[in-house]
Amino acid sequence: MKIALTGFGSYLPKIKTTNEDFLHHEFLNQDGKKFEQSNTVIIEKFQAITGIEERRYAKPEFKTSDLGYFAAQKAIEDASIDKESIDYIIFAHNFGDLSTNTIQGDTLPSLATRVKHKLEIKNPNCVAYDMIFGCPGWVESVIQAYAFIKSEMAKTCLVIGGETLSRIVDEHDRDSMIFADGAGAAIVQAVEDGGAILAHASKTFANGQAYSLYFGETFDQTDQSNTQYIKMNGRRVFEFACVQVPQAMKECLDKSGVTIDQVKKIFIHQANEKMDAAIIKRFYKLYQKEAPENIMPMMIQKTGNSSVATIPTLYDLVKRNQFEEHQINKGDIVLFASVGAGMNVNCMVYKI
């Protein structure tokens, strides 16, 4: 029995926010003091490091579960399955449903349950639950779906990754320019012929790294609201990722029995263009090789970092020929790799 990703779907929100839209923000240091540089300089440095030129934000009337529902519909259609045949719905996210101008995560009921309701699935044996695993949550959810199917607890799973990070950022923090909204989904199934998940690896580095990403107060020290926002030690995350992600990727690839020269594409979490490039370079150096050109599709320039949604969205866009320089075909070997809050790292080798 093979276990494959038989359908994909994604949803990119309609609102485009460019770097120029941040020119009038009051960016502050962690101590609440203003930067000496102008916003123009801050934004230029930000773009040089992250590669981000613009990002997508959800319309006010849509929450994370709505974005996940839109992506799920497309994945079900792409896989040509009966929605009533789905055994598990797993929704990876970090903050639940966030209403505009209200920073309070809503996870009652779970986002997976909300999607099942929106899809009008009547089958009570379709179990719906959420995955909280930081940015690697969608890949980890696929790994769980794989385990369910391999153990014959399920035949078909719907795995969703969605987030509306634009509603949980501190406008005084430069890192607010990184985060974005979006959703991606996949159908995971047992198949007789076709693609197959060949190997996977996951790690949690909680000791010393647990709070590299965390919930914290605004940098505006005059604000007494005690509202919490997503915060990140960017340098620590960068250094951690560049060491641990390549190692996890090598461990996973070696376990799969596939050689590095057989890898066609690497779909890596769209966190930071420079960081992702460094990860790929170090990964190939572990095999005493140079990274091939066009091995790593990137969409962060136009979409920002939508956390759990980046990998399924990127794969879906490449699959649908939205990137002229990146093509994937049946039989190709690809890698999925991610890093995020926890600190969690994972990787999966997949034959299309």
pLDDT for res 170? 92
pLDDT for res 220? 87
Instruction: State whether 189 and 205 are in the same domain.
Output: no
pLDDT at 98 over 90: yes
pLDDT for res 312? 98
Region of poorest pLDDT, from 100-104, 129-133, 246-250, 321-325: 100-104
Instruction: State whether 284 and 165 are in the same domain.
Output: no
Average pLDDT for residues 281-299, to the nearest whole number?
96
Residue with tokens 């969608």: 138
Average pLDDT for residues 266-284, to the nearest whole number?
96
pTM as predicted: 0.95
pLDDT for res 1? 83
**For residue 262, what pLDDT band results from cuts at 50, 70 and 90?**
very high
Instruction: State whether 129 and 240 are in the same domain.
Output: no
pLDDT at 101 over 80: no
* Concatenated DSSP letters of 96-147: -EEETTEEEEE-SS-HHHHHHHHHT---TTSEEEEE--STTHHHHHHHHHHH
Laid out side by side, the sheet with 263-268 consists of: 196-204, 344-351, 333-340, 263-268
**For residue 36, what pLDDT band results from cuts at 50, 70 and 90?**
confident
Cα–Cα nearest to 75, from 248, 343, 319: 319
pLDDT > 70: percent of the chain: 99
Question: Domain ends where: 168, 194, 220?
Answer: 194
pLDDT at 284 over 90: yes
Instruction: State whether 331 and 235 are in the same domain.
Output: yes
Instruction: State whether 307 and 202 are in the same domain.
Output: yes
pLDDT at 102 over 80: no
Instruction: State whether 50 and 67 are in the same domain.
Output: yes
Structure tokens belonging to residue 16: 């485009």
- Yes or no: say if 248 and 337 are a contact pair by the CB < 8 Å rule: yes
Average pLDDT for residues 107-120, to the nearest whole number?
97
What is the rounded distance in angstroms from the CA atom of residue 191 to the CA atom of residue 241? 34
pLDDT at 341 over 80: yes
Residues 6+ apart with CB under 8 A from 10: 71, 74, 182, 183, 184, 185, 309, 312, 313, 316, 317
pLDDT for res 172? 94
Average pLDDT for residues 119-137, to the nearest whole number?
97
Helix (H, G, I), strand (E, B) or coil at 76: helix
- Yes or no: say if 98 and 164 are a contact pair by the CB < 8 Å rule: yes
Cα–Cα nearest to 92, from 143, 147, 148: 143
pLDDT at 234 over 90: no
pLDDT tens string 192-233: 888 999 999 999 999 989 999 999 899 988 887 888 899 999
Amino acid found at 160 = I
Instruction: State whether 206 and 179 are in the same domain.
Output: no
φ/ψ of residue 202, rounded to 5: -140, 145
Instruction: State whether 143 and 208 are in the same domain.
Output: no
Instruction: Pick the most confident of 33-47, 118-132, 224-238.
Output: 118-132
Domain that holds residue 136: 2-194
Amino acid found at 303 = T
Question: Domain ends where: 178, 194, 210?
Answer: 194
Average pLDDT for residues 253-276, to the nearest whole number?
96
Q: Is 251 buried (19+), middle (13-18) or exposed (0-12) by CB count in 10 A?
A: middle
Instruction: State whether 252 and 169 are in the same domain.
Output: no
Average pLDDT for residues 100-129, to the nearest whole number?
93
Instruction: State whether 88 and 111 are in the same domain.
Output: yes
Average pLDDT over the chain reads 95
Residues 6+ apart with CB under 8 A from 160: 68, 71, 72, 89, 90, 91, 92, 111, 112, 115, 138, 141, 183, 184, 185
CATH number at residue 241: 3.40.47.10
Instruction: State whether 291 and 255 are in the same domain.
Output: yes
Question: Domain ends where: 194, 216, 237?
Answer: 194
Amino acid found at 321 = N
Q: How many domains does the chain have?
A: 2
Instruction: State whether 42 and 97 are in the same domain.
Output: yes
- Yes or no: say if 157 and 90 are a contact pair by the CB < 8 Å rule: yes
pLDDT tens string 306-336: 999 999 999 999 999 999 889 999 999 999 9
Average pLDDT for residues 158-175, to the nearest whole number?
95
